[in-house]
Structure 1
């Protein structure tokens, strides 16, 4: 199920294999076996990637719920066993160099700690923190921070993602007002309103609903939809990003539950603050 969710969110077997730290052939075999077990195709395959079939779309919601439950079970078992474990939620792109520096520094200082990573989609900016699925989250603000403690780590300028053949893609910079008539991607109903408002550029928008980074990019590619993204991330050649001069930066933050005195979280925050300053 984890393999299936990774492919469904990346919509590309190669990217999913990289995310899962495995080669592509065993991932493809696992998905074919899952399709055989289900008795239906889960993905429509093409040379440029994959799309979910109607059966795959149904299974994706069920698989996410199943994996959330499995994470809760694992946390309860580890707590009962008394093992020193820190579960970290990571939103979106785990290839951020800040994450790599933080991981290396934390391993050096805490070699005996069992680290669990929960990679989450864009519908929950706290990465499962409120649901008790993680101890601390590396994510982006703003979001509802009630009963949470937030530590700012870095601020990234933001641009608009466009298809490379879009006339606006030739511009050096843009303003939000120049995108007022365009369709934007949106998050599902029930997503944190502060989070949704930021990625909407401060006003309600119309457009297709997405959950994951790759869904956002594919929506731009296929529909000409526009959306926002932090600058500095690699994009497919068919897409371009143009800086927005009137958009506040996207803040990378670490967040944990207010009042949580877990010493592993405290040391994690200290190391993260240093790692992201470089």
Structure 2
């Protein structure tokens, strides 16, 4: 059987169905992308979304600056004598609070893509299944880094002087980024589990506010009632803030660091599989 060119077309050679089928069968299929390659591609997609909608960076620029200025000058004199002294304790804690809080937008982004139908296309691709979720988290890691740099810059301008130097600050930020990557798996689960973006945001806020504010971010928990101190001392955000604060101060907070890494592993091992199970069942 032979197909002919449509009337009015110019210089179009006829193609037989047999030759076309032979051509398609003979062509080698492209190699399947590796897990790393697919994850980086979806991470780049998340970065491009920030490029096209730069308003997404508002929460990692204006919000951290507002938090530092507000708490330093409103409560610094009352809690530590002077704003400058309080800033040395506060800045690592505010850094942790700001970055941990913006991790919840990962779930909102996942839900937005689901409602647009983008995930239906992703699931048909011959790629490593978790790469879509890992890509979201890799893209958000850039936002966390920007937030950290903004916070540290503002702190240095206000008078924050980390005794640990560049090495201590780099170690503290690295630990914060690793924890935030693992913590974000909770919000990807909510993005797949809940029905609307508003519900994802509401539930995320209900979870993250007690964890961040009932911690040692702002004050030493020794001044708290016993029942509250027990919760604060076992809060993963408290362990993270203690570890980051100690590293930036030039120390080696072994216990807090081990606890933080333990929480990091727990979040990945528990919420990672749950997220992928929900993703595969949709």
**What interval of TM-score do these two structures reach, taking the shorter chain for normalisation?**
under 0.3
Q: Which structure shows the bigger proportion of residues in helix conformation?
A: 2
Q: What TM-score does the superposition give when structure 2 sets the normalisation length?
A: 0.25
